[in-house]
Structure 1
């Protein structure tokens, strides 16, 4: 940092505001106010506030960390600081008016996940991109003067009909008693045992969030019931959830997937002959171990990995031909690894 009056001076003395050891991952500026996103002693993140020119030690906590909420991003507008947070797979938008330290929740147009957000400290409001399991990405502008969102109709949204699906947020009990979140998307009106595909990953703290996916949509269009198991090793439930599926705890990752699979069978949503699992890259560990642990519980598994070249085609896309193949899979027999789905190379 340096005083604004000295910016053009080649002999200006610049002072470091933060370094890596300060655990700051995001920043917003409005006038002489600086907002910082920090995970120092806060695994789920907190927001700090300070005045320009002051030391980091003078920063105060504006939004405290909560164990069941992850703060992902901050954006400073002229009239407020906007805080993008998440509970599980779903986003929350918080607004802290200028001059206040009280956060108020802004109700989103629909339940989903905010993929991107932009604010200008010289202008009021915020622009964001929101999608969900069944709603394609939509760009909205929030106007604080009327407290409403307006769709900006940017780009082509496609023809996915959200009303054709039912979304349920379930929990499955793992073998050690931990409740594992399970998001389930079903064709509306589906009855009886359904062909069901469960996706899971469970590594590096990477979360399966409530974003729209063309891969999932390809299966959903064919009336395949689609589940997303938020297994340990991912970041859906903060750092502790990640560590719960790491190193000596790695077995929880596939055990959580098994719990989700057995739960859907117990609920009567599917049967072992209509249940499939899918995952890629490190998710292949989850798939493979689940398949070998309970080979009689699952119909088939699919894994994929990325090609090590820039020009590689998308290996994480399930095309409609593959989905139709899955939807037509109605033969009896034991579990198997379905290599016709596998897109992998060395």
Structure 2
């Protein structure tokens, strides 16, 4: 009994010391309004459904905003003692960024294109030089100037016409990814009157220098629905519809081939795809089918001078194979195998050149770049030389080049741009991200570990920490995860992370199922009716790191965003005692309700990822893990939840409902905070420094829990 009392007293004072910098404040209590969901004979009460009203323009719209502001005020009051620390963290992270900088120039159609930033400026200038880097600079777009007076400004999709005289680009002022396409005369500086609203920001020039194809969005669901053709000088209202997608589970887009011969319309779902094409010099032609969509068959197309290459999973090629077909016979019956499917290698993509192709492969969780000569079929691989890293194609717009540009980074290697001469096999570092203030990669250690999941599967973990960390269970550790859509979370560098590592944190990435790090099967084993593998993998990674003494449960933290925020919600419900704190960023936590509402942006695109809850089995499986559905009267870890009022990917009402329900039901005294950015959406701030304020908030939350105040 005496030992029990001593333990209780020590735990009490330990908790008090950790929460010493969190100030006592009264949390807002959200109103409850009865709303029933009844489907598949399952009646569920949703007391916070009214929070939908700002999005749905309902009667409680103002009340929703008031509640979000009240939560922000509570966060500000609770973390008021960390304000100076947050400012110091912001200054510290900003000081590592080289403010006056320039990207590596990319050569295309006679010009070198690049962007550059200036001291104190949040945005950038998009520029070019003709023929040589010694030529006079042309500023094509001064985004610093254009962004003045806007709380959010995103410019994208810069496309220059074939005669180099016009540039089309997209602008989003709200952060809902609804872009206005503008056209600028690069000779006169005039912005033409051809402003095209509600697009994906993806202008594609035909070779006649006057025709633009683009993707039009549904203004409510934000689905990419139509491909339109615009002729300069005409009213966008008269633009010609060239394709309309009828299947609401598909994303569509339009783009030009690297050799400038074709314009493609691509329709993709999670499990099937379909391509159409025209001659880029004949924009008024009707698009012809490459190969009609086939059930559970994905394919993409790469045109060469005399044939098409097709990457596909057809005929059970789970990790994909490479096929080819003649230019005039594109149906699947004419496809012939070039590279067969391999059980241990995922074929991820192809970069084409006049005399070479480069195949992007993934083996044992790591990217390999395989170079093949089109003349003699000779092959070789690039050597990267680190145990955990991220590599990918860089900008390679010039079809006739023999130079491959690629990017490379690791947990300790800053982002690097290389040029690789495919004929001579000479590698040249063009630029490495400069970390100001002094950074030495040898001060840090990276490891690649494997945790054993509950079903015996080996799950990779990449981690980094500063030399000198003892593996005695006392180091704080932040475990990051995503695990959805087949997105691979490779081990990459960010200078902001140094603020964690230099204060004694270990940082780890759990390469859980639902991603594609270990091949296509890795993805399929973490989606639909196998989704719970994603969550149990993450939990097992956390338990492994505790067992191996990298940390302990009183120092273990978890973080994830969007679908990774779903992961955070699930593991908070499933293993609340494992984590001392969780950061859930823009979390997708109200899975069932969102997937039942096809008016919510992107819902129908997601059926192949999560399932359609109108199907009874899918409904009950989703309900079994959806974080909002599974909040219980029990103890939860300390939690920081973030969202954006204008988020187009995960609407603000998901995290706000979740937090309200947690406040009502959790039985602990741990910290629960909701931060809503009232001006931004899914990706946060648009400026290159403003986002650091959100990072500083996240880090201050973690440091306060660890009793770190400077």
TM over 0.5: yes
- SS of 2:478's partner is strand
Task: Look up the match of 1:176.
Answer: 455
Q: Where do 1:27-176 residues align within 5 Å? A: 27-29=302-304, 31-41=305-315, 42-56=317-331, 57-101=333-377, 103-108=379-384, 112-117=389-394, 118=396, 120-153=398-431, 156-159=433-436, 160-176=439-455
- SS of 2:521's partner is helix
> Deviations 1:86-139 (Å, cap 9, x if unpaired)?
235421100111234454212137552234332643221311122222322221
1:209 lines up with 2:493 in the alignment: no
Task: Look up the match of 2:545.
Answer: 264
Determine if contact 1:79/1:125 at 8 Å carries over to the other structure.
no
Within 1, Cα distance between the matches of 2:401 and 2:528? 47
Within 1, Cα distance between the matches of 2:520 and 2:280? 40
**Alpha-carbon spacing, 1:11–1:319, altered in 2? closer, same or farther (3 Å):** closer
**Alpha-carbon spacing, 1:83–1:249, altered in 2? closer, same or farther (3 Å):** same
**Alpha-carbon spacing, 1:136–1:8, altered in 2? closer, same or farther (3 Å):** closer
**Rg bigger for which structure?**
2
TM-score in terms of structure 2 length: 0.42
CA RMSD of aligned residues (A): 3.1
Q: Please state how far the C-alpha of 1:261 moved relative to its aligned partner.
A: 0.9
Moved more, 121-130 or 45-54: 45-54
Within 1, Cα distance between the matches of 2:398 and 2:425? 17
Within 2, Cα distance between the matches of 1:128 and 1:328? 40
Q: Please state how far the C-alpha of 1:158 moved relative to its aligned partner.
A: 2.8
Moved more, 105-114 or 82-91: 105-114
Q: Please state how far the C-alpha of 1:291 moved relative to its aligned partner.
A: 2.6
1:330 lines up with 2:706 in the alignment: yes
Specify which of 190, 193, 204 is matched with residue 469 of structure 2.
Answer: 190
Task: Look up the match of 2:560.
Answer: 279
Task: Look up the match of 1:343.
Answer: none
**Alpha-carbon spacing, 1:322–1:34, altered in 2? closer, same or farther (3 Å):** same
Q: Please state how far the C-alpha of 1:152 moved relative to its aligned partner.
A: 1.6
Determine if contact 2:370/2:382 at 8 Å carries over to the other structure.
yes
Specify which of 10, 18, 38 is matched with residue 291 of structure 2.
Answer: 18
Task: Look up the match of 1:288.
Answer: 569
Number of equivalent positions: 326
Within 1, Cα distance between the matches of 2:327 and 2:414? 40
Moved more, 94-103 or 319-328: 319-328
Within 2, Cα distance between the matches of 1:26 and 1:308? 38
1:226 lines up with 2:507 in the alignment: yes
Within 2, Cα distance between the matches of 1:10 and 1:246? 40
Determine if contact 2:583/2:698 at 8 Å carries over to the other structure.
no
**Alpha-carbon spacing, 1:124–1:258, altered in 2? closer, same or farther (3 Å):** same
Task: Look up the match of 2:101.
Answer: none
Runs of at least 5 residues in structure 2 that lack an aligned partner in the other structure: 1-260, 263-278, 587-642, 648-678, 685-690
Specify which of 636, 639, 644 is matched with residue 307 of structure 1.
Answer: 644
Q: Please state how far the C-alpha of 1:187 moved relative to its aligned partner.
A: 1.4
Determine if contact 2:514/2:522 at 8 Å carries over to the other structure.
yes
- SS of 1:273's partner is helix
Within 2, Cα distance between the matches of 1:299 and 1:37? 44
Q: Where do 1:241-256 residues align within 5 Å? A: 241-256=522-537
